[in-house]
Amino acid sequence: MVTQKDIAREAGLSQAAVSLALRNSSEVSSATIKRVRSAARRLGYQPDPLVSALMAQRHRGTAHAFRAKIAFLHAFPRREEWKESAYAAGCFTGARRAAADRGYVCEPVWLREPGISSARLSGILWTQHFQGLLFAPLPVDFPHLAIEWKKFALLSLDYSLAQPRVSRVVDDHAFGIERVLHEISRRGYRRPGLVLRASQDVRTHHSRLGVFLVHRRLRPDWADVPPLILPEDRWDDGLFTAWLDREKPDVVLTEEDRLPVAVRTRGVRVPADLGIAFFHKEHPTRTLSGLQVDSAAVGAAAVTNLTRMIETNERGEARVPTTTLVQAFTWHDGRTLRRPISP
């Protein structure tokens, strides 16, 4: 990144003179301003807008502190629907709290706003002092966004954003399902079956499916029950019923909160006839056996990373994307699995 010190060296001037010239100050001559700007162009200098705003405010003598913004970008079908998703709402709560602790403002931004193209949205975000973009989980088929990525620090909360290449902060899906597999093993199950949606499999980068298949291979005492991958982004009672009758699992690993009702309406007793273990519970109920993910901790960790990126001027597509895994969940014994028979 080119700094004012580099420009001063190139132009043969002091750093103070360069700073004044870049602000078009009357304290330096027009020739000096021209000289500095010419050197800046040659070096490809791009001012940090956050620093520029802070300096402009300082020179205006503004009383209140400038607060840069972070956009929590989502694409739910309805503008406020993200609030109905416990995971998305939790991520936002954690993100907003962590942002406030660091002097930032985090605001939700809807990507489906009528009449606002993504190119126009890019300009709106920029003029309203948004410095960082935090992407909530998007539909896997969401169209490409024509945003000027180089202006913003970028971070995603899952793997659904294909382009541009960005770093991510996600809950540790592999570690979580390993905990669930450990719990069903403690309870003596031998025919575990996995049910998940294809879209969720993509959003988690196949980590849950992969860990499940590996564990099943490593357990010769476990039956080879093929996973049920629901092709549409919705529950399908017919596909599930056919799979259940055909494969006869003794426990199902899932995140589908409709599944307990679906099996009970068929006369299946839970957990006497069939166990159900949740690797992600959307709602904080203790009656369901499984993991409650602390999505607020995920959102907070994401903003911690994103503010660092803003303050070190890491903008645009990541040259080397990184993924931070957050292990923040609680196991609930619930009442949909039988009691453990081993420690």
Q: What's the 3-state SS for 278-311?
A: ECCCCCCCCCCCEEEECHHHHHHHHHHHHHHHHH
Torsion (CA) 59, 65, 68, 74 in degrees, nearest 10: -150
- Give the pLDDT mean for 159-183: 95
Q: Between these two residues, 105 and 286, which has the higher pLDDT value?
A: 105
Q: How confident is the model at residue 52 (pLDDT cuts 50, 70, 90)?
A: low
User: Position 25: which residue type?
Assistant: S
28-42: burial string, b at 16+ Cβ within 10 Å, e else: beeebbebbbebbee
CB atoms within 10 A of CB 300: 23
Distance (Å, rounded) from C-alpha 190 to C-alpha 270? 16
Q: Amino acid identity of 28?
A: V
What single-letter amino acid sits at 4? Q
Instruction: Output the pLDDT for position 286.
Output: 81
Q: pLDDT tens across 320-341, in order?
A: 999 999 999 999 999 999 999 9
Sign of CA dihedral 207, 297, 280, 106: negative
As a whole number, mean pLDDT of residues 55-84 equals: 75
- pLDDT-derived band at 63, boundaries 50, 70, 90: very low
Please report where in the chains the tokens 């005492």 appear, as a residue: 221
**Residue 309: which residues within 8 A CB-CB, separation 6 or more?**
132, 153, 154, 155, 167, 315
| SS percent in the chain: helix, strand, coil, step 5 | 40, 15, 45
CA dihedral 175, 180, 183, 184 (to 10 degrees): -140
Segment 22-31, tens digit of pLDDT = 877 778 898 9
CB of 216 within 8 A of CB of 192? yes
Backbone angles phi, psi at 220, to 5 degrees: -65, -15
56 pLDDT exceeds 80?
no
Residue 59 has pLDDT above 60, yes or no: no
Question: Residue written as tokens 């839970």?
Answer: 270
Q: What is the mean pLDDT of residues 242-271?
A: 95
pLDDT score at 25 = 79
Report the percent of the chain where pLDDT is more than 90: 72
Give the span between the Cα atoms of 225 and 142, in whole angstroms: 32
Give the C-alpha separation, 165 to 168, whole Å: 10
Of 253, 240, 249, the closest CA to residue 279 belongs to 253
Q: CB of 292 within 8 A of CB of 86? A: no
| Residue 334, both tokens | 């619930």
Q: Using an 8 Å Cβ cutoff, are 72 and 106 in contact?
A: yes
